[in-house]
Amino acid sequence: MKKLINTLTIAMVALVSFQQTGCSPEKPKDTPVDTVETPRAPRVEAPAFSADSAFQYISAQVAFGPRVPGTPENTACAMYLKDKLASFGLTVTVQEAPATLYTGRAITMRNIMGSYKPERTDRILLVSHWDSRHIADRDTARVTEPIDGANDGASGVGVMLEIARVLAQRDPNVGVDFLFVDAEDHGQPGGASETWCLGSQYWAQKTSAEYVKTVHFGILLDMVGGKGAVFPREGTSMYYAADVVEKVWSAAGNLGLGNLFVNSVTGQTVDDNLFINKYSSIPCIDIVHYDSAEQDYGPTHHRHTDTMDNIDVNVLDAVGRLLLDVIYNEKVK
């Protein structure tokens, strides 16, 4: 099991070690952080976000059954995502690659990207994993059975699909890429970090330097629809991309969402954004549900209770509105 590094300050200390997040039950401690009030520049009003629409996209994924890599349910959901992105007029690419899971099983994983205005050289990258966990290793019953992954996986995808739909109706003047990575949540409990996030590891190592130069920043969405969700400033994000964290959390404050996007800092964690930062140099942050009071990722994490019953449209609405605000207020270089 990975050890948690020392607690972080806003200045950030050197990277020592990582622990697994949307992947592992370890509990990073968080520290409060003081922020400096900055003048609020006039903001462009973004289009409306439909949380009900995002909810339906989540429900459609869950209806396939657990989307475990290498299963028919995973393949069926991949086709759904490709078709849905194409229906919004995005340019869709599928990156297939062989992978060996920690159990020794060989699979073909699929990373799916939908690109809005792919010719533009000022871009924002949105990321979520779309697979679901093969075991309920934090549960007390049916531990060896896969989970629905309504929040852990499908919620980020649902928010991103709704944003893609909105962009098709009103141009934000920047390019946006919607990257859905596979095989994130099939890591070994307590195992090495490299057993997790296989899709993002592969994508980050294979993406071209030319593409990387066009991306202003990336935002990973992990567990962004659960009841009672709170989003602190995640430690790995602060280490690699503190300025992007400040941009997004400041926008949340401007929108009156400071009760959800709180100004404490978690320990550094292992999630898809770690490997995107490490292997592609794209500054990528993580919006991830973490409960500071419980020092945990929420009561449904890697459990069979991660179902549609625990998805909150109000949380989806907050995350979606924030992302649209950030996208529509991003300036071209």
- Looking up tokens 């992007």 gives 244
- Going by C-beta distance under 8 Å and a sequence separation of 6 or more, which residues neighbour residue 73? 64, 65, 66, 67
pLDDT at 20: 46
DSSP-derived secondary structure letter, 151: I
Given a contact cutoff of 8 angstroms between Cβ atoms, the answer to whether 78 and 68 are in contact is no
Label the pairing between strands 175-181 and 106-116.
antiparallel
**Looking at the chain, which runs of residues are DSSP E strands?**
19-20, 31-32, 91-100, 106-116, 123-129, 175-181, 215-222, 231-233, 261-265, 269-270, 284-288
Each residue's pLDDT, cut to its tens digit, for the chain (333 residues) gives 222 333 333 333 333 334 444 455 444 555 555 554 445 558 899 999 999 999 999 999 999 999 999 999 999 999 999 999 999 999 999 999 999 999 999 999 999 999 999 999 999 999 999 999 999 999 999 999 999 999 999 999 999 999 999 999 999 999 999 999 999 999 999 899 999 999 999 999 999 999 999 999 999 999 999 999 999 999 999 999 999 999 999 999 999 999 999 999 998 889 999 999 999 999 999 999 988 777 788 899 999 999 999 999 999 999 999 999 999 999 998
pTM of the model: 0.90
Domains of the chain (ranges plus CATH)?
Answer: 26-328 (3.40.630.10)
